[in-house]
Structure 1
């Protein structure tokens, strides 16, 4: 295994953590133990976790779509590419129990953790902290979504990255798959693809050995393009979709607060223990400034690694742009900014420092001889004094003034270069401290999220479904509103519910114009119509019923308010 290094500092270590690091170094079978710990925590977490609508809506689409054509049309309303849904469709051919999705998700998360623990160029302590962090332990493990498969593919790309020296096929296939996991992974896939193209174009200045044939490069590019086009085809919603405002809902106007919100996502992604509220403009602005500082800090660290810098800048910039233009998102979304940083640190291990970028600002830097066209372009040849000699020595006064002017400009330039050099040196010396702070913050957030999910149900859907089954209330006609909050109950019950918003029996919800919001009075009117078919009717609401009809006998049955998701608390009513 290769240990991640800092420029001129040897192995990544801190005196404060040296004792802990060396104690971990002495632990036999550390990799196996850490993977087993992660799997054990994951198994406990997912079996305890009460799934919510975003997890079960996709499962229900796969379960209740009668054929592949309908399945394709339905997932177009989900706002995600196909890969995760394809696996859900295959799982549904074997079982209708949604726990199968959770176990499959656990397998994906464990596989990605195994790759990270076995191959990532970090110390044992850093691996331990990362694996037990917020995203790997909680957001991308306990909650079954398409993000775990994206992380698995991303780490596989990092592991297989050296294969590009002779063959791009493996990376091309992985990049195409990555693009088809979610929108943020698509942006990372595009950033990595552009980075590989840039690397090939700069292979000679960077002294890189990239020997893939023209045919290999062409076919690999085609594979990536096909994968990206497939992802985009599903990410572009149907014309009647109103999910996140539909295809036309983009924010192209200038708004300083939204700009600050977008920038602050860097801080929110890296440092999770203190996150500003979006409704507080001053707080958001201050954290946006901190985010710019963090980004500048990381850019400086990657400055002598141009290819890694290109990926980090492009990946971070594209997600921030998407955040501003389309969707501010939550931790699971902008958490990809943190994944980009970890990926950049991993890829950095495959390169040696290169002063290609420094050569444009550092006057003391002489490019390597092979880049010269002959040996005449010395520093003296490029100076102001030599230029004056070439123009002649007759105009002595003018020449002297030119020299003084050149000295002043050169002095200012040298001062700037020295300050930048000192800044870069300071960043290199303190980057490990910065990284360890991030990892410990992620650890605290991960443990808090994991323990909270053990003690506070993420959704009250499972408890509600179990109550309905235990008291045989699911044998009556079920009416549920608001419809999209009812999908997890439908998933746990394994049966359809009547949704007043779409006025039909359904399980999953498609966010299109066919569904219309309803109030409590309209819901009761539809219940009254259902009573003509069968009586009684069990009404499930995600809020207390605030109205009634004289012709209906409404009996409150039970309420389930112990839930982390506020609008997935449920109230049951028996109506006759």
Structure 2
């Protein structure tokens, strides 16, 4: 296919330069991928993908998880071939490498934007080293851009790509809407009016995309992770929507590197300054597409769509927010590819000062992502502080023959989710009172626990299962001197009193205290029930 080979008319020096750039990216992404300790959300997806006796059983059991099916299908298919949890990293890195290849060799981008995009945090770490489903979105966005002209002829190709994009993650449904908005405004603003066949192609793609969106919704809802959604009880819907439209940039503060975010948290006055600056950069970036109004309107619609999603459904993290940057990159490439064909069409303006200012704003945004990427490289390649202590716990358990068959329980429960990647020990979920490695963030679980409850459950489990019991606690008990009630996860509570702590420590042995982590909360003390 044309989209997977480099241009044959490029000078050899240009091709060699691009090849070197790609090799450097691949070496860096691979080093981050294989050095990164997987954390709970990564392994949770693999655990879900391996449920059931068949693909149908897997799809049935993952219904309501909160993500559509494409990532899980890819993981299960790869595991059938490799037969090892390492497929998690292999699949993620392969998808990221394909995206990076298209970014370097196929997308028609200014070299500065290509380089900044390639070495941004989302490209080199969050969608490559981090084994999640969001990297597929970037690959499909780039494939859509490259297939655009051919796909506009009948709508089938783009429609199928839209349907796949809608089934990578819920946030990518907004990206599908953005592409359809671009196509729609492109038709409406075109002069002379397009032929009937052009509208028919759009309608075909829209129908296929709608089928993909329906499949996504049917897979995701009703969700059993109902505690993970935004709680809108007692809140007025209209002000929330108005705030989402007026303050969209406030949902994208994680575009700043961690060093700036720490300053923002420490100083409220700086928080206002950096929030205002982020608004200028985000809304200014839209102006970079002002020479192609359909693209600017599409990018604005995706920005507002994400803001509504973060306000009304799920809070947004960096991996979600960065999808907007990926969409802008796709729009820039799409505009450059279609520029000759669009000459003289309404909605297409000559490049001027406004566009240059907009491109500068977007390049500053990308430069911030490169700074974040440098932080990630330093953190995970040049320090000994991992993302999670799950691998260290696995090594410790394997070094203790007496813990070979130990049952592991934890508070919070989700601390056990990454363990299946490293050790085969059974895990028990305190809040749901069942064995398993997939936590359901449901409002039907035990929302309030005490340390006495944990100790009692451990005793009962040892009596019924005749196995050693290892208890992981995220709280450092020796640092608590007064009764406290701590909020965990979305809506869980853990109560601790000095009396309960004393009783717990008298019946357990602290066998290992694990050190700090970066970028997650997956560190803990490990206790063995006496």
Do both proteins adopt the same fold according to a TM-score greater than 0.5, normalized to the shorter chain? yes
In 1, Cα distance between equivalents of 2:377 and 2:218:
35
Which of 367, 376, 387 is the matching residue for 1:449? 376
Distance 1:332 1:496, change over 3 A: same
What's the counterpart of residue 103 of structure 1?
A: 90
Counterpart mapping for 1:398-413 below 5 A: none
Q: What is the distance in 2 between the residues matched to 1:37 and 1:527? A: 50
**1:529: how far off?**
1.0
The Cα shift of 1:139 comes to 1.1
Q: 1:287 Cα deviation (Å)? A: 4.0
Equivalent position of 1:311 in the other structure: 298
- How much does 1:226 deviate? 0.7
> Is 2:219 the partner of 1:242?
no
User: Does structure 1 residue 338 correspond to structure 2 residue 338?
Assistant: no
For the residue of structure 1 that corresponds to 2:388, the secondary structure is coil
Q: Give the structure 2 partner of residue 544 of structure 1.
A: 476
Task: Tell me the number of residue pairs that the alignment of Structure 1 and Structure 2 aligns.
Answer: 488
Deviates more, 1:526-535 or 1:26-35: 26-35
Structure 1 equivalent of residue 489 of structure 2: none
Aligned equivalents of 1:496, 1:567: Cα separation in 2: 22
Shift of 1:561: 2.1
CA offset at residue 238 of structure 1? Answer: 3.3
Question: Does residue 1:56 correspond to 2:35, yes or no?
Answer: no
| Deviation, structure 1 residue 278 | 6.8
SS at match of 2:229: helix
- Alpha-carbon offset, residue 116 of structure 1: 0.9
Partners of 1:429 and 1:150 lie apart in 2 by 28
Residue 500 of structure 2 is aligned to residue 554 of structure 1 = no
Assess, with a 3 A threshold, how the Cα gap between structure 1 residues 183 and 285 changes in structure 2: closer, same or farther: farther
Distance 1:297 1:213, change over 3 A: closer
Contact 2:182 2:297 in 1 (8 A): yes
The normalised TM-score by structure 2 is 0.82
1:467 CA drift (Å): 0.9
Q: Residue 233 of structure 1 aligns with which residue?
A: 218
**What is the aligned counterpart of 1:438 among 357, 365, 369?**
365
Taking a change above 3 Å as real, the CA distance of residues 195 and 461 of structure 1, as seen in their structure-2 partners, is same
1:269 corresponds to which of 252, 255, 258: 255
Q: Which residue of structure 2 lines up, in the alignment, with residue 521 of structure 1?
A: 452
CA RMSD of aligned residues (A): 3.3
Q: Which has the larger radius of gyration?
A: 1
Contact 1:237 1:247 in 2 (8 A): no
Q: Any residues of structure 2 matched to 1:176-215 within 5 Å, and which?
A: 176-205=163-192, 211-212=197-198, 214=200
Deviations for 1:421-452, whole angstroms, at most 9, x for unmatched residues?
A: 9xx94323444544443333322221211221
Separation (CA, whole Å) in 2 of partners of 1:249 and 1:142: 40
Q: Kindly indicate whether the alpha-carbon contact (under 8 Å) linking 2:244 and 2:304 is maintained by their aligned counterparts in 1.
A: no
C-alpha separation in 1, matches of 2:194 and 2:203: 19
Q: Where in structure 1 are there 5+ consecutive unaligned residues?
A: 1-23, 360-420
Distance in 2 (alpha carbons) for counterparts of 1:318 and 1:142 = 27
Deviation of 1:147 after TM superposition, in Å, equals 0.7
**Alignment partner, residue 134 of structure 2:** 147
The change in CA–CA distance for 1:358 and 1:194 in structure 2 (over 3 A counts) is closer
Aligned to 1:428: 355
Distance 2:234 2:83 in 1: 35
Structure 1 residues 324, 217: CA separation in 2 closer, same or farther (over 3 Å shift)? closer
- In structure 2, the gaps of 5 or more residues are 1-10, 478-495
SS in 2 for 1:328: coil
Using a 3 Å threshold, how does the CA distance of structure 1 residues 536 and 85 change in structure 2: closer, same or farther?
Answer: closer
Asked if the contact 2:191/2:346 (under 8 Å) is kept, the reply is no
Name which of 67, 82, 99 aligns with 1:80: 67
Q: CA deviation at 1:266?
A: 4.6
The answer to whether residue 22 in structure 2 is matched with residue 35 in structure 1 is yes
C-alpha distance in 2, partners of 1:358/1:203? Answer: 9
TM-score, length-scaled by structure 1: 0.76
Higher mean Cα deviation, 79-88 or 106-115?
79-88
Report the Cα distance in structure 1 between the residues aligned to 2:175 and 2:46, rounded to whole angstroms: 26
Aligned twin of 2:122: 135
Q: Give yes or no for contact 1:304–1:354 (8 Å, CA) kept in 2.
A: no
CA contact (8 A) 1:302 1:308 kept: yes
- Select which of 468, 471, 483 maps to 2:413: 483
Task: Provide the residue aligned with 2:462 in structure 1.
Answer: 531
Cα contact 2:120–2:369 (8 A) shared by 1? yes
CA distance in 1, matches of 2:24, 2:518: 26
The Cα of 1:96 is off from its aligned counterpart by: 4.9
Match of 1:511, SS state, is: coil
Q: Quickly say closer, same or farther: Cα 1:195–1:122, change in 2 above 3 A.
A: closer
- Aligned to 1:573, the other structure's residue is in SS state strand
Q: Is the 8 A contact 2:22 2:104 kept in 1?
A: yes
Distance 1:281 1:77, change over 3 A: farther
Shift of 1:173: 0.7
